[in-house]
Amino acid sequence: MTEPVFNKIAIIGAGLIGASIARAAVQYGAAGTVNLYDSSEDVRQRAAGIALGDVADNLATAVAEADCVFLCVPVGALQAVAADAVPLMKAGAVLTDVGSVKGQATEALAAAADGRVHIIPGHPIAGTEQSGPEAGFPTLFQNAWHILTPLADGDDNYDAAVSTLEAFWTQLGATVETMDAARHDRVLAITSHLPHLIAFNIVATAFDMETVEQGEVVKYSAGGFRDFTRIAASDPVMWRDVFLNNKDAVLECLGRFSEDLAALQRAIRWGDGETLFNEFNRARSIRKAIIDAGQDSGAVNFGRNLPKGDEDEGA
């Protein structure tokens, strides 16, 4: 075994992502030891019960000796946690996060900066619809992208810290990309945030239909609906914070989505089969592009790493 990238890491927030980092860091030798802390005593006990690492009963104990602190909390909680953590960290350590929104996350982390620690926001494009410490598994980041959005004004020490953090995620199996926070938030608004909002919405719409029983919706969900319910099972607090903190980019996507949908609605109402065919045919070619690009056949197919397969579809 080679030297670990970090001798000691601290994970704050022992949910799906935090627990998966803990498991992966140990399994792939990326960290010597793993401290964990969660503000919920229940979660701390569960994390200790499944031996996720050294579970501390306070933030100070968790972060004091850590070479890298991972804040794995909802984006809305980042600012308060970062403000508490930074003064307790040792000089030269790295502070990173896993938030799905990077503009607000960067502001939240930067507000806590005291010049002693390296603040490097990050976001693993990986997850399942499961939550909690028990949901974590070590292969979650295999073949997934990990996006870092480093601050603009870093010196050489900062750049070295970014390289070390990159090495950590690479060792966990991820491919690391660097981009600015605003670009990240625009890209994720359309590739992740809007799809989740749509999925949450269609599930709610389906269950409010008076003309169709909820039992029927469940029974015949294989016709396409079920795919949406899987996405819509994701953690509601995390997603609330995503939408509150990436408002502009999401509203921009949503406006376009609704406009395009109105055009399809009009085509249906007026029996305009040509418009429908052309739009559906175009969507099909985009799927082909994704498969051709290897984004759904191995290169970034972390679905294969899911602990249990409940993936399926029908038409």
Name the one range near its own copies by CB under 8 A: 28-36, 77-85, 89-97, 213-221. 213-221
- Interaction residues for its own copies, span 258-287 (CB under 8 A): 258, 260-262, 264-265, 267-269, 271, 273, 276-277, 279-284, 286-287
CA 276 to chain centre: 34
Q: Which two tokens stand for residue 67?
A: 């070479």
The string of DSSP letters for 243-312 reads HHHSHHHHHHHHHHHHHHHHHHHHHHHTT-HHHHHHHHHHHHHHHHHHHHTTTTTTTT-GGGG-SS----
Smallest distance from its own copies to CB 61, Å: 30
Angle of helix 78-85 versus helix 103-110 axis, rounded to 10: 30
Smallest distance from its own copies to CB 153, Å: 25
Binding mask 51-90 for its own copies (x = CB under 8 A): -------------------------x--------------
Binding mask 219-258 for its own copies (x = CB under 8 A): xxxxxxxxxxxxxxxx-xx-xxx-xx--x--xxxxx-xxx
- Interaction residues for its own copies, span 182-211 (CB under 8 A): 186-188, 190-209, 211
Smallest distance from its own copies to CB 60, Å: 30
Name the one range near its own copies by CB under 8 A: 79-87, 102-110, 150-158, 289-297. 289-297
**135: nearest Cα among 259, 238, 271:** 238
Smallest distance from its own copies to CB 131, Å: 9
What amino acid is encoded at 130 in this protein?
A: Q
Backbone angles phi, psi at 201, to 5 degrees: -70, -45
C-alpha separations of 145 from 86, 125, 178 in Å: 27, 5, 10
Smallest distance from its own copies to CB 202, Å: 6
